[in-house]
Structure 1
Amino acid sequence: MSVLRQVYNLMFKRTSPFTLNILLGSIFFKRVFDQARDAVFEHINEGKFWEHIKHNYEKK
């Protein structure tokens, strides 16, 4: 039995595992996409956030 057939039988043959795989995949994709989007946004706006410039305005 090939590996692909085993994966198919375990993950996609029945409705319940197929649905679970879709849900878990979408949650994983959302987390990765959100982190990548935030990283790009922070890179584009480097030096413009309060965390980056607050040392200029706070008294020591």
Structure 2
Amino acid sequence: MAGLSSTIYNSVFKRTSTFALACVGAVFFFERSFDLTSELLFDKINEGKLWKHIKHNYEK
């Protein structure tokens, strides 16, 4: 466990620039996954009520 923590420290936390880059990358992936999850949940809760679900009833 000490080897893993020292490796992570030396590769990410030792320099401010790599720590900032790791934070930006983590925020990007968190935002994308949160957005996709919330969209799927919203679509599931509102299934049959949204235009994309009922537009075939009103098209020619």
TM range (shorter): 0.7 to 0.9
Consecutive unaligned residues of structure 1, counting only runs of 5 or more, are none
Q: Percent identity?
A: 49
In 2, Cα distance between equivalents of 1:38 and 1:51? 13
Q: How far 1:7 sits from its partner (Å)?
A: 1.2
TM superposition outliers: structure 1 runs of 4+ over 6 Å: none
RMSD of aligned Cα (Å): 1.2
Q: How far 1:43 sits from its partner (Å)?
A: 0.6
Match of 1:52 in 2: 53
Consecutive unaligned residues of structure 2, counting only runs of 5 or more, are none
Query: Normalized against structure 2, the TM-score is what?
Result: 0.87
Match of 1:23 in 2: 24
Q: What is the SS of the residue equivalent to 1:40?
A: helix
In 1, Cα distance between equivalents of 2:17 and 2:9? 13
Q: CA deviation digits over 1:11-60, x for unaligned, max 9?
A: 1111110111111111111111111111111111000111211221222x
Instruction: Work out whether 1:5 is the aligned partner of 2:41.
Output: no
Aligned pair count reads 59
